[in-house]
Chain A
Amino acid sequence: MASAAAAVEAEGLVKTYRSRAGTVEAVRGVDLRVDAGEVFGFLGPNGAGKSTTVRMLTTLLSITDGTARVAGADVAREPDAVRRQIGVALQEAGLDPRQTGRELLELQGRLFNLSADEAAARAVELLQLVELTDAADRSIKGYSGGMKRRLDLASALVHDPEVLFLDEPTTGLDPASRLTVWDEVRRINERGTTVFLTTQYLEEADQLCDRLAIIDDGRIVREGTPERLKADLRERLGLRSDVTLDDVFLDATGRTRIHVAGEVQEVSR
């Protein structure tokens, strides 16, 4: 039974694809619970099933088996109700390069049922929020990677969503742009929005997330607060020194680091 305080809840979530080589199980029974108001981190190596899970939760991909509720609505049965309550910024900043930043935000507002005037006013507000007012009337084609990410983030906030899904929002960004996005995420969360964040950067998860889950090979292998996960590992391995989230991640995913020709490489055990 879904609790009223759960912003995201998934039980036995499965996604299988049919390919020429046979059936591929991308997600193999994921159980998740994200409380309202949390910043929840979803971590995993490449191909672990992070993006597939996010795409199912955001109604972009059909669910093979299991159930999911987002903002109180069933993802499979009430996709439009889910869409009205979520904001989505996917791995690739999904923007129309031929529009200006302002046009894109106004269009997004119209698609979420705002009137033309309301959409225009909301666009002004959001452009200020992500510090793109000066570039508002320039074609998106000319934006830098960081500007595109910030605009993508703004477009996901047009309708004040209850839950914001961010799929690797800082991948490919320079350190300064990454810090700007982190600040935005914190600001958005302080205003009451639940944030579901996938990332490959463990420092990002450590900085931003109240709780996190690690997925590997389509299954959740660890879940808890960053501090709890680190403490558990320290206890289990009987370590005296501090452990980092990197150590938790490597332990959870069965990977280890070796030195090859003077460089540190990550390999499966």
Chain B
Amino acid sequence: MTYALVLGRRALREAIRTPEAIVPTLFIPLFFLVVNVGQAARIFPGSSTEFLHGQGYGAFQLPSSMLLAASFGSAALFLVEEIEGGYFDKLRATPVPRSAIVLGRLLAEGVKALLIASLIVLLGLIFGITIASGVLGFVLLILLTASWAVVYSGFMQVIALKTRSAAATNSAGLVFFPLLFLTPNFVPRNLLTHPMEVAATINPVTYLMEGMRSLILQDLRWETIGLGYLVVVVAGIIMLAISVRVIRNYD
């Protein structure tokens, strides 16, 4: 773990020194939030829309933006750069466990995601969104987002290690868009058409989104929150198993 922390600190330093890589992570999700709310807020007024629990449509849309931000991690692209530049081999020639090389970047990604998620929620608070589940709910919301950012970055790192190509890694990042839109993104699941409802039910991102949404709109609903965390834990275990296998067999 010490090695992962040392490498994680290095990855954080790298992030601080490349602010241009963080700006889109913040800007694009906020852009989507503003556009989606602008387009649908009048259809779903807070005063008469039951699923908004008395809040505006922005509160309903906030989880989508947070998930989008969580999927913009730059760890995999930095990794490809490192592979191409030869520094990755330098790290592999040291006696640190292979898993630490993967985990270091993921730890840094988690810290970055905590900060970015907090910033997005704080901006939401400024524009009138409230976190109905209180301080504990806020913490759980940020943690859930950051954990998903780590898991998603982990999968992207696997693609980076397998393809060693920035173009392929970048393209793989776009996979998140269908996953994000095959969810109850604009309305709750029970209001979707039947095919969309089936797709959303199969899609694990739905449970993350519903967990996050319940924390914003309602009090602590442990069953819904638990499902969100379960998705992250299961996906995290799968991601770690694949990552460790891929880096150990990296030639």
Contacts and interface: CB of A to CB of B under 8 A. Distances in A.
B95 A83 contact: yes
Contacts of A59: 92-93
A181 interface: no
A86 interface: yes
Interface in B35-82: 82
Interface string A230-243: 00000000000000
Given A107-B6, A110-B6, A95 B94 contact: no
A111 B90 CA distance: 11
A112 B94 contact: yes
B238 to A, nearest CB: 25
A139 B17 CA distance: 10
B85 interface: yes
A80 interface: yes
A60 B6 contact: no
Given A86-B93, A112-B94, A96 B82 contact: yes
B87 A111 contact: no
Contact of B93 (A88, A96, A99, A107): A88
Contact of B3 (A58, A95, A111, A139): A111
A113 B10 CA distance: 16
A107 B100 CA distance: 14
Interface string B2-46: 010011001001100110000000000000000000000000000
B249 to A, nearest CB: 8
Contacts of A110: 3, 6
B218 to A, nearest CB: 43
Nearest to B10: A107
B86 interface: yes
A65 interface: no
B96 interface: yes
B17 A60 contact: no
A61 B251 contact: yes
Contact of B85 (A60, A97, A112, A139): A97
Given A59-B93, A111-B91, A111-B94, A98 B85 contact: no
Interface string A80-96: 10011010101111111
B86 A111 contact: no
Given A62-B251, A111-B3, A83 B82 contact: no
Given A92-B85, A98-B18, A108 B10 contact: no
B89 A96 contact: no
A155 interface: yes
A99 B85 contact: no
Interface in A98-123: 98-99, 103, 107-108, 110-113
Contact of A99 (B10, B86, B89, B91): B10
Given A83-B94, A95-B86, A98-B18, 6 more contacts: A59-B93, A60-B92, A83-B95, A110-B6, A111-B96, A112-B94
Interface of A: 58-62, 80, 83-84, 86, 88, 90-99, 103, 107-108, 110-113, 139, 155
5 A-B pairs closest in CB distance = A94-B86, A94-B90, A92-B86, A83-B95, A111-B94
